[in-house]
Amino acid sequence: MDIISNLAFGFDHALTFTNIWYCFIGVLLGTLIGVLPGLGPVATIAMLLPITFGLPPVTAMIMLAGIYYGAQYGGSTTAILVNLPGEPGSVVTAIDGHQLARKGKAGLALFTAAVGSFFAGTVATFLIAGFAPPLAAVALTFGPAEYFSLMVLGLAAAVALAHGSIVKALAMVVLGLLLGTMGQDLYTGAPRFTFGSTEFADGIDFTALAMGVFGIGEIIRNLESAQVREPIKSRLRDLIPTREEFKAIIAPVLRGTGLGSVLGILPGGGAVLGSFASYSVEKKLSKNPVPFGKGAIEGVAGPESANNAGAQTSFIPMLTLGIPSNPVMALMIGALIIQGIVPGPNVITDKPDLFWGLITSMWVGNAMLLILNLPLIGIWVRLMTVPYNLLFPAIIAVCCIGVYSVSNNPFDVYLMAIFGVIGYFLVKLDCEPAPLLLGFVIGKLLEEYLRRAMLLSRGDPLVFFERPISATLMILAILALVLVLLPSVRKKREEAFRE
């Protein structure tokens, strides 16, 4: 069995003392910061990115992945206990999870979320191990035209799934791509958009952009409307469900895992799609006398499994194709590039230790979450009530130290401040910053593939439609955009996002 021997190889790397330690630190830090008010997984990862730069690539990625699950789990915990989902993936968890908590069943909801996530994580680990290598093998046959089309599809999907106006999302992608072109031109070495300053010679620092837009911008927004967070004071001791309750969650967990895994692989997917889809499926299938929205346990079990499965399978396109399907994966790709690794199908063959070590560490991380979180829930609850006035100076301090430490250049600190302001105004103007980050991260690669493809075709843009794989991807991308622009779909989409 290939999968088994590969996974065993991965465990060899994931289970070294150093890697277990950093996985643990990542999961712990992720949860710790994830439960704090106003900090979702993207902001958490952006903030902690610089700490990982000094680590070897495998360890760094393992730690980042740990931070991701931790932050996500933290987000679910706040969703259940304070009805404030820290991240979009746990929006639907808040609906029934919080109602359960109000009925004194917070323990049950938390247990379900933890166990469902762990189960989904386990299944997703095997799925990645099974599907990633063949996908990478296919991707190895891709030429520049296919790659270009694939990236366009990824960006189109991100636009289609963004909240609000399509034109704004498109503009954000293009702005991200444009910011990504700053710095030296890959082919000629000509400085681009440096405006005579040497500070821009290497382009805009990825960490400064991510921290500014997602960390600092977020602070300014939170200061605008100070939220009052009152966690539910319910008995947390009754964690273990009764036999009937346990039976009720089995099927939703299985369905959620399946849905989440599939939707997580899609470009533009990730944790969010799966959790929404799972919630509506469970709502339709529910035989629970308690209606949805009033504290149905299925409404926690399904979406929580789905978002964790999706969070994990979204690593598949990132690791095998080098395409980020969501902002978290964009950060991961940014981290890989900083580590000197070009994300793409070559990672599996060139860096098997990184690939398999990371995958198996996901399972280790999920197991740690399960062991760590249920006993520590009391601490998390207390952290949730930290007043924001004490918290935001800490975020500023960590961001300042972090962004400076990347290249010991004060200029990056100024850049972060500027992107903080820009990020704030973008959100204020209803422009989602996620597509901007995606565009920024893959901008250089996209251009490289475009230029190579055009060289090979002698300047004929039809090349993208002549090669079958490339044509299929392009047509899918165009379909995705045309569909969301159709008036009928547009209406439904707006309704879906409002829910």
Partner 1 sequence: MLTIRNPKDFFTGLLLLVIAAVFAYGLTELRIGTAYRMGPGYFPMVLTGMLTIFALILVVSGFRTDGEPIGEIPWRALFIVTVSIVLYGITLKGLGLVPALALTVLLSTFAAKKWDAKAAIGVTIVLVAACYGIFLKGLGLPISPFGPWVGGY
Contacts to partner 1 by CB under 8 A: 51, 54, 165, 167-168, 170-171, 174-175, 177-178, 181, 185, 187-188, 190, 192-193, 195, 216, 219-220, 223-224, 226, 388-390, 392-394, 396-401, 404-405, 408, 410-411, 413-414, 416-417, 420-421, 424-425, 428-431, 447, 450-451, 454-455, 458-461
Compute the least distance from the CB of residue 156 to partner 1, in Å.
13
Q: What angle do CA 305, 272, 172 make, to 5 degrees?
A: 160
Looking at the Cβ atoms of 54 and 375, the one nearer to partner 1 is: 54
Q: Output 258 or 443, the one with its CB closest to partner 1.
A: 443
Name the residue with tokens 């490339």. Answer: 470
Secondary structure (DSSP) of 220-261: HHHHHSPPP--------S--SPPHHHHHHHHHHHHHHHHHHH
Give ∠ CA 251-124-337 in degrees, rounded to 5: 150
Least distance (Å) between residue 139 CB and partner 1: 23
List, as one string, the DSSP characters of 360-416. Answer: HHHHHHHHHHHHHHHHHHHHHHHHHT--HHHHHHHHHHHHHHHHHHHHT-HHHHHHH
Query: How far is residue 38's CA from residue 391's CA, in Å, rounded to a whole number?
Result: 9
CB of 55 to partner 1, least distance (A): 10
Task: Say whether 494 sits in a helix, a strand or coil.
Answer: helix
Rounded to whole angstroms, the Cα distance separating 154 from 314 reads: 12
Task: Write the DSSP symbol of residue 164.
Answer: S
Our CB check for partner 1 shows the closer of 134 and 393 to be 393
User: What minimum distance in Å lies between the beta carbon of 147 and partner 1?
Assistant: 15
The DSSP annotation for 77-118 comes to: HHHHHHS--SSGGGHHHHHHHHHHHHTT-HHHHHHHHHHHHH
CB 215 to partner 1: min, Å: 10
What is the four-CA torsion angle of 480, 485, 490, 493, rounded to 10 degrees?
30
Q: Output 138 or 170, the one with its CB closest to partner 1.
A: 170
Q: How far is the CB of 208 from partner 1 (least distance, A)?
A: 11
Return all residues near 112 (Cβ < 8 A) that are at least 6 apart. 241, 249, 297, 300, 301, 304
- Specify the residue for token string 């939220």: 227
CB nearer partner 1, residue 157 or residue 415: 415
Return the number of the residue (350 or 466) whose C-beta is nearest partner 1: 466
Contact 336, 61 (CB under 8 A): yes
**Under 8 Å CB-to-CB from 337, ≥6 apart: which residues?**
206, 343
- Residue placing its CB nearer to partner 1 in the complex, 230 or 460: 460
Beta carbons within 10 angstroms of residue 164's beta carbon: 14
| Closest distance of CB 237 from partner 1, Å | 32
For partner 1, the closer CB: 87 or 432? 432
Name the minimum Å distance from CB 54 to partner 1.
7
Interatomic CA distance for residues 79 and 93, integer angstroms: 6
Per-residue tokens: 163 = 């909240």
CB of 253 to partner 1, least distance (A): 38
Q: How far is the CB of 473 from partner 1 (least distance, A)?
A: 19
Please identify, using beta-carbon distances, which residue of 12 and 460 lies nearer to partner 1.
Answer: 460
Q: Is 491 exposed, middle or buried (0-12, 13-18, 19+ CB in 10 A)?
A: exposed
Amino acid making up residue 286: S
Q: Give 174's contacts (C-beta < 8 A, 6+ positions apart).
A: 439
- Least Cβ distance, residue 319 to partner 1 (angstroms): 26
Considering the complex, state which of residue 164 and residue 352 has its C-beta at the smaller distance from partner 1.
Answer: 164
Q: How far is the CB of 375 from partner 1 (least distance, A)?
A: 25
Contact 220, 484 (CB under 8 A): no
Backbone phi and psi for residue 16, each to the nearest 5 degrees, phi listed first: -75, 160
Nearest residue (CB) to partner 1, 316 versus 484: 484
Q: Which is nearer to partner 1, 455 or 483 (CB)?
A: 455
